[in-house]
Structure 1
Amino acid sequence: MPLKLSVVDQTPVHGCHAKKDAPLLTVELAKLCDELGYHRFWVAEHHNSVHFANPCPEIMVAHLAAVTKRIRVGSGGVMLSHYSPLKVAESFSMMATLHPDRIDLGVGRAPGGSGLTSAALAYPHRPDNGETYADKAQQLEAFIQGSFPVDHPYGQINVLPDSSNKPELWMLGSSGGSASLAGELGYNIALARFIDPDNCQPDIFQSYRNAWAMSGHERKGNTMLAVAAICADSEAEAKLRAGTAVYRKLASQLGQREDFLTPEQVQDRYRQLPVSVQSAYDHILSGYTVGTPERCHDELATLAAAFACDEISLVTVTYSQAERLDSYRLLKQGV
């Protein structure tokens, strides 16, 4: 089957735009990706971040679905530990009713922020730090599908008077911890290689497929691989543009927090780093798909074959919106 390309957008706060414009730039990108023929467009959830400006994906998804025509729109993902499964089911079922066959509901275990934001989101209760994730994911699936056992009290709850239009359910993971759970509960699975490429291996999908088969689901479970990708007309330019995202990840690992740097600032910083930290930077870069359209397409095809999946979602973070738009245009050429 031909490789489907999709998008996971983190709503980056581009340095050459006002910070308040970041959500509007995600809207601009979604419209472009709709025109270019990308399969789906997901938005992430982050709290109290200097780099990413979307703490409420459900609002962004609703807006994007209203201003696009064809592309599937969804969350990549809702951080379920913070929320009531019923409320999430109600929100996304309403969107699926307004935009039939176009809404995806992806959920994740991670908090999407610090312990402080988790505490504030849980107030006046204690944050569960993922302890109830499996139970919440099971309840969410049952609310969406209307599949509570007949003797379960929640089976008496109607998410909507007519919930025949349903969001497509996905579970996010980065290192395999959720693979068996997703297969058992009947979620499709999206594997976030862009977060942890070292521990993101093809056997995670196999664990998912095994759990799916053992659970006896009638339909086929879908798999998607999400990769960090930055494309430009030349190899050198692509590597230069990638520096902004690579250095942000490196700085995060070192406990530093500052606004995105320009590619040129990153190169200046790189030259001043100790050799060991330069090696860490180079290692992060090696986990990205970076280069010309031809090089990126070859690597994406190789990844799709290795992971036995027919859909790859692209995560592109650059200093400027123009670079981000350019990368997505180039990556769709010839696909």
Structure 2
Amino acid sequence: MKLSVLDQSVISVGQTARIALQHTIELAKITEELGYTRFWVAEHHNSNGIVGTSPEILMSQIAANTERIRVGSGGVLLPQYSPYKVAENFKMLETLYPNRMDVGIGRSPGGSPTTRLALTDGIRKSMNEFPRQVADLQEYLFDTNPGSKLFHNVKAYPSIQTVPEMWLLGVTHRGARLAGEMGTSFTFGHFIHPANGLHAMETYRKSFQPSKTQPSPKANVCIFVVCSDTQEKAEEIALSQDLWLLAVERGLDTRIPSPKQKKLSPRDKEKIIENRKRMIVGTPQKVKEELLKLSDFYQTDEFMIIHNTFQFEDKVRTYHLLAEAFL
């Protein structure tokens, strides 16, 4: 089993953005030493608690502070940007850190309609352009002519000897099909919509067409995990993540709250139970058993672990326990 990390650089209540980013870089160093395969950072906008607005900049800092672990975006929101500029950014990163970069691409609008317009400088871009943008990005990375005839004489620099590994992120069979047809790797977001997982993964494999750099399908699954020495302690730690998800879904404060017990409505309790389908909470033995079951279910040997709880020490403990169980 290969284990990897998705970190969203979320601020805990009472902390600062700088501390959250320092924790992300520290976690990358720790997980590299523990033997994790890759470390990805996310992209979010117009959020008071999620600091990761620019994955490329944060990736550069992470790569500079590590030596071996693959570093990537989970993911760059391509519909809001130019494939040419994204290719330039990742070619620059690949030049600085050869054979270590992952280009994770997402289709998400990045926030509210107004936030998306701010990202595109007021230009109303169609989400239907995403497949064409993915194709153009591939061609800029591979130094072939982009599909858009308007830009056929344009090349992305710097020239590189190696090419970043390209991943499409998705939560439906539609995103999985596109990843397959484009011949990229695919990440399924179990931590967002677990019910779609089996259909998405089957669709990806059935639709896969070999590409210039990838002869066969390659997929992983991202899931929330909270692990501690006892089930009781794991549940106690996970409460802050439960409360955080409630707030995020309501568009409220996106900082991670303290796990101190608060009065929950019946609807809150129902939603927490529903959200628990997106995560595994428990002892190392329980987490290992559940991940092995999901490995068979999804037919994958790699999981990306995401963990958003109040105390950084609890997050680090989860990654240590998983490494002891698997690596």
- Secondary structure of the corresponding residue to residue 173 of structure 2: coil
Find the counterpart in structure 2 of residue 68 from structure 1.
Answer: 66
Indicate how the Cα distance of structure 1 residues 161 and 6 shifts in structure 2: closer, same or farther if over 3 A, else same: closer
Measure the CA separation in 2 of the matches of 1:112 and 1:151. 24
Measure the CA separation in 2 of the matches of 1:216 and 1:101. 16
Find the counterpart in structure 1 of residue 95 from structure 2.
Answer: 97
Find the counterpart in structure 2 of residue 269 from structure 1.
Answer: 263
| Superposed counterparts of 1:110-129, under 5 Å | 110-126=108-124, 128=125
> How large is the Cα RMSD of the aligned pairs?
2.1
Do residues 246 (structure 1) and 242 (structure 2) align? yes
**Identity over aligned pairs, percent:** 33
- 1:255 is displaced (CA, Å) by 4.5
- Secondary structure of the corresponding residue to residue 29 of structure 2: helix
Aligned with 1:298 (options 247, 265, 289): 289
- Secondary structure of the corresponding residue to residue 55 of structure 1: coil
Find the counterpart in structure 2 of residue 156 from structure 1.
Answer: 153
| Superposed counterparts of 1:20-169, under 5 Å | 20-126=18-124, 128=125, 130-148=127-145, 152=149, 154-160=151-157, 162-169=159-166
- Secondary structure of the corresponding residue to residue 131 of structure 1: helix
Indicate how the Cα distance of structure 1 residues 129 and 231 shifts in structure 2: closer, same or farther if over 3 A, else same: farther
Aligned partners of 1:111 and 1:129 also within 8 Å: no
Aligned with 2:188 (options 188, 191, 214): 191
- Secondary structure of the corresponding residue to residue 269 of structure 1: coil
Measure the CA separation in 2 of the matches of 1:263 and 1:179. 36
Find the counterpart in structure 1 of residue 273 from structure 2.
Answer: 282
Q: Normalization by structure 1: what TM-score?
A: 0.91
Do residues 174 (structure 1) and 174 (structure 2) align? no
Measure the CA separation in 2 of the matches of 1:249 and 1:134. 30
Any idea what the Cα deviations from partners look like across 1:291-314, whole Å, max 9, x if unmatched?
111111111111111000111000
Q: Normalization by structure 2: what TM-score?
A: 0.93
Aligned partners of 2:41 and 2:73 also within 8 Å: yes
Aligned with 1:207 (options 203, 209, 220): 203
Measure the CA separation in 1 of the matches of 2:284 and 2:214. 38
Unaligned residue ranges in structure 2 (runs of 5+): none
Indicate how the Cα distance of structure 1 residues 129 and 16 shifts in structure 2: closer, same or farther if over 3 A, else same: farther
Any idea what the Cα deviations from partners look like across 1:78-134, whole Å, max 9, x if unmatched?
0111111011001101111211111000000002322222111111422x2623211
- Secondary structure of the corresponding residue to residue 10 of structure 2: coil
Measure the CA separation in 2 of the matches of 1:69 and 1:277. 43
- 1:327 is displaced (CA, Å) by 1.2
Aligned partners of 1:192 and 1:200 also within 8 Å: no
Tell me the number of residue pairs that the alignment of Structure 1 and Structure 2 aligns: 326
- Secondary structure of the corresponding residue to residue 21 of structure 1: helix
Aligned partners of 1:16 and 1:320 also within 8 Å: no
1:314 aligned partner, one-letter code = I
- 1:16 is displaced (CA, Å) by 4.8
**Range moving further from structure 2, 21-30 or 249-258:** 249-258
- 1:258 is displaced (CA, Å) by 5.4
- 1:200 is displaced (CA, Å) by 2.8
Aligned partners of 1:93 and 1:165 also within 8 Å: no
Aligned partners of 1:96 and 1:102 also within 8 Å: yes
Find the counterpart in structure 1 of residue 253 from structure 2.
Answer: 257
Aligned partners of 2:80 and 2:116 also within 8 Å: yes
2:120 aligned partner, one-letter code = A
Indicate how the Cα distance of structure 1 residues 125 and 258 shifts in structure 2: closer, same or farther if over 3 A, else same: closer
- 1:18 is displaced (CA, Å) by 2.6
- Secondary structure of the corresponding residue to residue 224 of structure 1: strand
Measure the CA separation in 1 of the matches of 2:207 and 2:111. 30
Measure the CA separation in 1 of the matches of 2:214 and 2:256. 46
Any idea what the Cα deviations from partners look like across 1:117-165, whole Å, max 9, x if unmatched?
2111111422x26232111111101111223379956443232252322
- Secondary structure of the corresponding residue to residue 5 of structure 2: strand
Do residues 329 (structure 1) and 320 (structure 2) align? yes
